[in-house]
């Protein structure tokens, strides 16, 4: 195990960071009948999920906990496993994350990384949660291949089926060993073993266990609900034998096993019987998740799903926790979450945790919304969850209305109407649609707002934006609403993207005011530098000078995503000096900044020419992907070059 210097480091960190005696005895969350208790009082919570705490920097961890605490998110569900193949990542189902891994194959069996690029990361998460007054829910393993998970165990064992994780005596032994290692680990920052740390609210046997996984290994023909239920019974008993004080959940999605069930959520096909799991003697919590988009359902079905589990949990005599939920449609997310949360509050549920909260990265930018479910805090939807947290604490729902952000895209020169109050929520008599104020800073209610980009006009609960002549790009305005008691909402933002004139070029970078964010791609070593320059300009007075030492990709992220799907070429002017250069263009597309690259060309030394890239063919992505371009990069070989007038035609 990679634990060199651990004792010395631990001693220093304990001295610097260990909690004071006054803070050293938070209580365990316990179970009393169908409810949770903390310090002898009922404990109900609204919380969130975050998967990257276990491998990101301390600054990023701190930021997430600060946001959670400010939003009264009392519980964070976060991952507690990161499994790879060999220490060099060979044989890995996934890979190390930022160089971090917890468990690896030593050639004969799984081994543990207790060092600074291993479990010391999780130590810090528990310490920071304790300092922040936030409880944790931690799964021991992931059913999916992200971070290794179940399939990494199967690969270690040379298995054929995903569900061998549940049935193989060898794998079950490895998993018990991992659980034991984690539970008995003494956190050097607190001096407390994980099993004795009340910062942890609950352990989950797995995140979303099923017969099926991510597809690397199929389910065997024999996998059934009996398979997973027997495994959960065995593992929950093992956890309790080592750690009798913490709550234990199966971590399942709440699927049913009903003869003649309509689909996979209730026909036994995933190997999950949530009722059987909840009834196990060493399982403390009924678990469910909710993703209508992924399950072929709608938001209304989500209410039925919640109500059904609340009733079944009461019959089983167990508390129920909605461990993950999400909805992709941001235009309806706020009112849908309000309805789901209301159902959970009224129905006596113990806790909810939305997917997911992310925060600032080390460079100050927000961690990207890779899967479309992220709700940042502070934000309107986060406020709706915060209000639910207050209700779960017993506060009456006497909150001001929550106005949510609205976005729309329109063609060049075309007005667009947004139903801005449709995604706002009120807690007393509904939103007064006639109360939309388009200039909250001005005295009185303003039903119109003129901007250089165009005019916003409110009519009832709708706002129409009419672009100014010749305008394309982003226009925005703030608005507030009132409820039936005339309480004022937060200010929300209306954003309208007006597409460019389809017959005109899109000017992307002119370099008239400097480098406009251009630099060598930060994943490269010694590619070179850029600077604004008046040595060459094809349009205006300034261009961009690139001094490429090692050569590489140079470019910038766009301030706003741009749609290039109606364009046929990307062009820029390039002057070469004593060296020629290969030429290629790459785009970062979509929320995941997916790389899309052109074919290669070449420009001779001592020439000035227009470099034109065909966007209709020769790209590594579909042309439709260019509807959401987030960044643009060009390849420059070693030497000094000047660029100008980057545009789409």
- The catalytic residue positions are 208, 324
d(CA 55, CA 41): 34
Q: Running DSSP on this structure, what letter comes out for residue 220?
A: P
d(CA 449, CA 464): 10
- As a residue count, the chain comes to 649
Angle between helices 299-316 and 333-346 (to 10 degrees): 20
Cα R_g (the chain), whole angstroms: 28
d(CA 495, CA 477): 7
Interacting residues of 145 by C-beta distance below 8 A, sequence separation 6+: 93, 94, 151, 152, 213, 214, 216
d(CA 495, CA 526): 39
d(CA 504, CA 511): 19
Distance of CA 67 to the CA centre of its chain: 14
Q: Give me the helices (H) in 296-454, please.
A: 299-316, 333-346, 380-392
d(CA 568, CA 623): 9
Interacting residues of 143 by C-beta distance below 8 A, sequence separation 6+: 149, 150, 206, 207, 208, 209, 210, 213
Whether residue 197 contacts residue 130, with contact meaning beta carbons closer than 8 Å, is answered with yes
Whether residue 79 contacts residue 207, with contact meaning beta carbons closer than 8 Å, is answered with yes
Angle between helices 120-132 and 58-70 (to 10 degrees): 30
151, 139, 118, 133: which is closest to 29 by C-alpha? Answer: 133
């Amino acid at each position: 195990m990679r634990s060199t210097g651990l004792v010395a480091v631990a001693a220093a960190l304990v001295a610097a960071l260990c909690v004071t005696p006054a803070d050293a005895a938070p209580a365990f969350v316990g179970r009393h009948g169908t409810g949770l208790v903390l310090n002898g009082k009922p404990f109900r919570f609204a919380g969130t999920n975050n998967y990257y705490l276990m491998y990101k920097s301390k600054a990023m961890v701190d930021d997430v906990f600060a946001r959670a605490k400010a939003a009264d998110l009392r519980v964070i569900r976060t991952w507690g496993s990161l499994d790879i193949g060999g220490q060099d990542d060979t044989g890995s189902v996934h890979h190390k994350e930022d160089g971090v891994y917890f468990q690896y194959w030593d050639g004969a069996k799984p081994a543990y990384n207790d060092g600074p690029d291993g479990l010391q990361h999780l130590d810090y998460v528990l310490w920071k949660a304790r300092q922040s007054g936030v409880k944790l829910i931690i799964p021991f393993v992931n059913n999916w291949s992200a971070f290794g998970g179940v399939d990494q165990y199967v690969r270690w064992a040379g298995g054929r089926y995903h569900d061998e994780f549940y049935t193989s005596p060898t794998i079950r032994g490895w998993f018990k060993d991992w659980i034991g290692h984690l539970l008995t680990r003494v956190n050097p920052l607190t001096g407390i073993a994980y099993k004795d740390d009340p910062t942890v609210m609950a352990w989950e046997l797995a995140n979303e266990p099923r017969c099926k996984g991510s597809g690397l290994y199929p389910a065997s023909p024999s996998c059934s609900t009996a398979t997973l239920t027997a495994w959960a019974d065995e593992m929950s008993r093992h956890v309790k034998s080592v750690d009798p004080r913490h709550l234990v959940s199966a971590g399942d999605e709440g699927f049913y096993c009903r003869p003649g069930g309509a689909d996979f959520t209730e026909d036994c096909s995933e190997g999950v019987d949530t009722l059987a799991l909840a009834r196990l003697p060493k399982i403390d919590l009924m678990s469910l998740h909710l993703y209508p988009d992924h399950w072929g359902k709608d938001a209304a079905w989500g209410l039925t799903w919640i109500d059904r589990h609340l009733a079944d949990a009461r019959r089983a005599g167990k508390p129920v926790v909605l461990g993950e939920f999400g909805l992709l449609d941001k235009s309806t997310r706020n009112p849908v979450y309000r309805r789901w949360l209301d159902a959970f509050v009224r129905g006596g549920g113990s806790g909810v945790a939305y997917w997911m909260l992310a925060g600032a990265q080390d460079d100050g930018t927000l961690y990207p919304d890779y899967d479309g479910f992220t709700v940042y805090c502070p934000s309107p939807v986060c406020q709706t969850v915060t209000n639910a947290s207050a209700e779960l604490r017993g506060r009456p729902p006497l909150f001001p209305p929550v106005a949510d952000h609205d976005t729309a895209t329109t063609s060049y020169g075309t007005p667009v109407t947004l139903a801005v109050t449709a995604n706002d929520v009120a807690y007393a008599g509904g939103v007064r649609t006639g109360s939309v104020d388009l200039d909250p800073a001005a005295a009185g209610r303003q039903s119109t707002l003129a901007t250089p980009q165009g005019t916003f006009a409110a009519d009832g609960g709708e706002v129409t934006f009419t672009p100014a002549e010749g305008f394309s790009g982003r226009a925005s305005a703030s608005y507030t609403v009132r409820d039936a008691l005339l309480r004022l909402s937060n200010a929300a933002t209306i954003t309208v993207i007006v597409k460019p004139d389809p017959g005109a070029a899109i000017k992307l970078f002119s370099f008239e005011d400097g480098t406009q964010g251009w630099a060598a791609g930060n994943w490269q070593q010694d590619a070179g530098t850029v600077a604004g320059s008046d040595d060459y300009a094809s349009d205006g007075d300034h261009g961009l000078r690139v001094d490429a030492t090692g050569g590489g990709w140079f470019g910038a992220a766009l301030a706003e995503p741009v749609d290039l799907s109606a364009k046929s070429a990307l062009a820029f002017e390039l002057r070469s000096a004593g060296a020629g250069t290969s030429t290629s263009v790459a785009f970062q597309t979509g929320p995941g900044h997916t790389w899309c690259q052109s074919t290669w060309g070449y420009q001779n030394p001592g020439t000035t020419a227009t470099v034109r890239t065909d966007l209709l063919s020769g790209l590594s992505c579909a042309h439709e992907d260019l509807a959401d371009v987030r960044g643009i990069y060009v390849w420059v070989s070693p030497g000094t070059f000047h660029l100008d007038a980057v545009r789409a035609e």
